[in-house]
């Protein structure tokens, strides 16, 4: 096994007490994405290139380059995620449950030498999903 080419994934899973359609809107409508993730110019179209923007940091400009690579409404959304020289992919998988919707977020493609980016993603997704939880708890 060649450890130089082996990659790691950050996986965060959470149950939301809402139907998949409501969660899907939060994942695909730009004004809602901004509330829990970042400012963006997202469109739920295959091949759409977009940017996520956070406040610039000392080490980078705060822009994440993305492209939609998979979209199956109310089920799966996947896009590339490139920032600070690290190229990964983020996949959201929605599964209906008796209590609402199970969300699985996987950010894959971290090299073994990208420990700082991996740690940042691990922290970031837990934080982002906490904000998503607050957004979804609001009445429609």
Q: What is the pLDDT of residue 59?
A: 67
Mean pLDDT in order along the chain per 10 residues (140 residues): 74 97 98 96 97 80 94 98 94 98 98 93 95 91
What does DSSP assign to residue 138?
Answer: S
Mean pLDDT score of the chain, rounded to an integer?
A: 93
CATH for 10-137 is 3.30.530.20
- Per domain, the residue ranges of the chain are 10-137
- H or E, element range at 14: strand 7-16
Question: Is there a contact between 96 and 15 (Cβ–Cβ < 8 Å)?
Answer: no
Q: What is the pLDDT of residue 58?
A: 67
Q: What is the pLDDT of residue 38?
A: 95
């Amino acid at each position: 096994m060649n450890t130089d080419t082996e990659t790691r994934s950050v996986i965060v899973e959470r149950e939301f007490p809402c139907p998949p359609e409501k969660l899907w809107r939060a994942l695909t409508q730009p004004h809602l994405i901004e509330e829990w993730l970042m400012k963006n110019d997202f469109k739920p179209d295959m091949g759409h290139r977009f940017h996520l923007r956070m406040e610039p940091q000392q080490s980078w400009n705060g822009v994440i380059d993305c492209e939609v690579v998979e979209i199956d409404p109310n089920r799966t959304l996947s896009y590339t995620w490139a920032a600070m020289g690290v190229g990964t992919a983020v996949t959201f998988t929605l599964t209906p449950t008796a209590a609402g919707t199970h969300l699985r977020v996987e950010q894959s493609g971290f090299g073994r030498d990208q420990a700082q980016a991996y740690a940042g993603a691990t922290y970031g997704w837990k934080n982002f999903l906490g904000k998503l939880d607050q957004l979804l708890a609001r009445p429609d």
